[in-house]
Amino acid sequence: MLDERVLPAAIPLAAIALDLLLGDPHRFPHPVRGLGFLARGMERLFRPQSDSPRLQRAMGLCCTMLLMLLAGSVAGAAVVFLPLGGVVALYLAYAGLALGQLRREARRVLKFTGEQDGLSRTALRMLVSRDTEHLTLPQVRRTLAETVSENASDGFVAPFFYLALFGPPGLWAYKAASTLDSMWGYKTPHYLHFGWGAARVDDVLNIIPARLTAVAILLVAWARGLLGGYSPARLRRAWRYTVRDARKTPSPNAGWPMAAAAWGLGAGMGGPARYHGQEVHKPWLGPPEGDSLDPRQWTQPRCETLVEVCTAACLAAALALHLFVLGLLWLDISWLGYFTG
C-alpha cells in the first residue's frame, strides 16, 4: 500500500526534475525513436495501394490506434514485469517529457540571434518544420515564440497530463499519436488522407492540455505584471482575446497556447510562413501587427521572458495536475498504480 501511494506521487515530480536537469536522454535508447521506426514499418506494410480517400483514412486511423495500443501495452508491461519497475517507470516518465530540451534549444536560438543570422536559422530548424533559410532575425524570434508556446503544450503539458492520470501507458499511448501526427499529419498529397486519422486523434487528445496551457500562460503573465497591471479585469480581457484568436487557427488546439502567449507578452504571432517550399498565410494572433520598430514585436528580451513564462506555466499546470492525482490517491483510487512494478 505504501508503494501504491508514494510512487505515483513521487515519480512524476522526479521525472520533471530529470527533464529540466538533463533534457533528452541522447545517450540512452529513446522510445520516440522506436515509435518512429514502427511508424515507418506500419506505413510500408499497411498503407493501401488504392487512392481511395475512405480506405486511406480508415487504414491510417487503424494504424494510429494500433500503435497507441502497442506503445501503451509495452510501457505497462515494462513497468509491471521488468525488475525495478519503479526505476523503469521513472525512465519512461522522464523520456516522455520535453520541457528541458525545449528550453535548451530556445536559449540556443536566442544566443545566436545576437550573433549571426545564419546560426540562428540553423538552430531554429531543430525546433520547427517550416523553412527557415530566408527568415530575418525578427521573423526568427517570432517563429521561436510560436514554437515555444505551442510546444509547451504538445511537449510537456499534454504528456504530463496523461502521465499523471494513467501512468507510463497513458503517456506513451499519447506519444504514439503525437509522433504519428508529426510524421503523417501534413496536408500534402502523400499524407492528406492517410494521415487524417493521426491528426484527428492528436486533436482530440490535446483538447484539454492546450486549454490548460493557455490558462497557465495567462495566469503566469498576469502574476508577473505583464498584462499592464494586476487588475483581474485585465486578466479577463486577455482571456477573451485569447479565446477569440485561438479559434482563428485551422488546428483546434495549437492556437490556444500561442494566442495566450501573444496576449500575455503583448506581441503578435502569425503571418506568412513557408513549409516545404510553399507559402502559407497563418492567421494573426495577438495585438495588431506593426512595423519593425513597433514595441509589440518579439524583441530579444521579450523572447527570453516568454521562455521563462512558458516554463513557469508548464510547471504550474503540472503542479495542478499532480495535486488532482494526489486527491484521487487520497480517495483510494488505486488504478493509478502503474508505477508500482
> Which of helix, strand or coil describes residue 156?
helix
Per-residue DSSP letter, 340: G
Per-residue pLDDT at 340: 41
**Enclosing H/E stretch for 312:** helix 300-330
- Cβ-based neighbours of 149, under 8 Å, separated by 6 or more: 217, 257, 258, 260, 261, 262, 269, 306, 310
Per-residue pLDDT at 116: 58
Maximum C-alpha span of the chain: 62
pTM over 0.75: yes
- Strands 269-275 and 278-285 turn out to be antiparallel
Query: What would the grid cell of residue 72 be?
Result: 501503451
84 class by beta-carbon count within 10 Å (0-12 exposed, 13-18 middle, 19+ buried): exposed
- Cβ-based neighbours of 180, under 8 Å, separated by 6 or more: 35, 39, 63, 64, 67, 195, 198, 201, 202
Per-residue pLDDT at 265: 94
Per-residue pLDDT at 238: 95
15 class by beta-carbon count within 10 Å (0-12 exposed, 13-18 middle, 19+ buried): buried
Per-residue pLDDT at 337: 47
Q: Which residues pair with 273 in a beta bridge?
A: 280
Q: To which residue does cell 497507441 refer?
A: 68
pLDDT along the chain (341 residues), means of 10: 59 94 79 93 93 94 97 94 89 95 92 71 78 80 93 97 93 97 89 95 98 98 92 95 95 96 93 77 84 66 96 97 82 50 40
Which among 152, 175, 168, 153 has a CA at the least distance from the CA of 36? 175
User: What are the boundaries of each domain within the chain?
Assistant: 2-340
In b/e form, how buried is each residue of 104-126, taking b as 16+ CB within 10 angstroms? Answer: ebbebbbebbeeeeeebbebbee
- How far apart are alpha carbons 232 and 228 in whole angstroms? 11
- How far apart are alpha carbons 149 and 131 in whole angstroms? 19
